[in-house]
DNA sequence: TTTAAATAAAGAATATTATCCTTTTTATAG
DNA sequence: CTATAAAAAGGATAATATTCTTTATTTAAA
């Protein structure tokens, strides 16, 4: 049964979203509790699926991936089997970190992280445009990014 | 001085990107080393900024945020001071998790995570369209998402 | 080659933490 | 009020992170 989140749970999620390496002790102190209930609540949040995983966030630029690009795509044919194949291919490209089927002026929106403009062009020419039934393709190249986070503001949810 | 990453460093980043809660012991075993060099390498990767932070990834749907939307925006006026104000306002909206200045058919591309269509409309009507000098606004609503990750494929970098 | 210096790994010791268990408190329903 | 269930506290223990010292490996100079 889906257990509802109380204020402490929400605070825990907010804290762990920012920094998942905090010790239960330090969190317990911040919330004015002892470590055991904090520990147990976190385990429950994990088990019930509110927390999916814990990951290290890397600095893409430092790793040599300096360019983010969004690509809107329309397809010419829309058979189900083709769509599935298309998505499968797209998802296998390591440059693609997001692939959304969308409504609006495109069928798909991709988010890519690549080394530079050259790598972007290589992707377009030697990967994307090789896919059949490709219609309109429109790229938006990120010139600068003022916000980019996974962190969800929980104050509006609970 | 910028230290280059060797194969072990790359493997460490790949591992921690997937799961940052692995113990150094378990990683050491996987890589056939003892714990101390693993520990020290991770600390170095943190200190040198390859690893920015460790975070918990939440299940947005479970939290009640079921809709992802991308919004392309063009502005009518482009004075520097206005752009700055615009970006500042946009970034303060909790719905907005990404804001990119882009080249192409739009000036800005936003990524939003909201409860549902209603919350999306509320955002448009009572937040976005209140900003002055707004030109064209085009939304792409995610119908389904086949890939959405932060995980970078490191095999192509080093 | 040989040797010295620097770098990385191994191994062991210690301090912290996570984790578990029991007791106490708090909240709730009858 | 009392009985029951749920949550928190507190303490004990096992596991882990972290530090330090020693050993091995690599690198560069002689």
Say whether pLDDT at A54 is over 60: yes
CA angle B115, B53, B147 (to 5 degrees): 45
Tokens at B94, concatenated: 């909790």
Q: Using an 8 Å Cβ cutoff, are A100 and B142 in contact?
A: yes
Mean pLDDT computed over every residue of chain B: 95
Query: What does each C-alpha distance from A14 to A11, A19, A43, A48, B26 come to in angstroms?
Result: 5, 9, 15, 16, 28
CA distance B87 to B101: 9
| A residues 7-46 closer than 8 Å to B (CB) | 13, 16-21
What pLDDT, in 10s, does the model give residues B59-98?
A: 999 999 999 999 999 999 778 888 999 999 999 999 999 9
Domains of chain B by start residue, with CATH: 7-47 (1.10.10.10), 67-141 (3.30.70.920)
Say whether pLDDT at B22 is over 70: yes
The pLDDT score that the predictor gives to residue B1 is 41
For residues B36 and B158, the model is more confident at B36
The pLDDT score that the predictor gives to residue B82 is 87
Q: Using an 8 Å Cβ cutoff, are A31 and A105 in contact?
A: no
B48 contacts in A (CB within 8 Å)? 62
**Looking at CA atoms only, how far is residue A140 from chain B in angstroms?**
5
Tokens at B58, concatenated: 């939440």
The nucleotide closest to A31 (CA, C1' atoms): D8
Instruction: Determine the protein residue whose CA lies at the shortest distance from the C1' of D8.
Output: A37
Say whether pLDDT at B153 is over 90: yes
CB contact under 8 A, B103 and A141: yes
Q: Using an 8 Å Cβ cutoff, are B58 and B51 in contact?
A: no
The pLDDT score that the predictor gives to residue A157 is 79
Say whether pLDDT at A82 is over 90: no
CA distance A110 to A97: 8
What pLDDT, in 10s, does the model give residues A5-39?
A: 999 999 999 999 999 999 999 999 999 999 999 99
Query: What does each C-alpha distance from B63 to A38, A157, B28, B110 come to in angstroms?
Result: 19, 7, 35, 21
The pLDDT score that the predictor gives to residue B3 is 66
């Amino acid at each position: 049964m889906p257990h509802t989140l109380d204020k402490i749970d929400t605070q825990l999620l907010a804290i762990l979203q920012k920094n998942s390496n905090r010790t239960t002790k330090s969190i317990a102190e911040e919330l004015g509790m002892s470590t055991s209930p904090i520990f147990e609540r976190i385990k429950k949040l994990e088990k019930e699926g509110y927390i999916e995983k814990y990951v290290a966030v890397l600095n893409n630029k430092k790793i040599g991936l300096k360019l983010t690009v969004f690509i809107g795509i329309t397809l010419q044919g829309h058979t189900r089997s083709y769509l599935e194949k298309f998505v499968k291919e797209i998802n296998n490209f390591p440059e693609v970190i997001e692939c959304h089927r969308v409504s609006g002026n495109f069928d798909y929106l991709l988010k890519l992280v690549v080394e530079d403009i050259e790598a972007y062009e290589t992707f377009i020419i030697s990967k994307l445009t090789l896919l059949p039934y490709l219609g309109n393709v429109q790229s938006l190249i990120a010139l600068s990014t003022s916000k980019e986070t996974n962190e969800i503001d929980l104050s509006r949810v609970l």
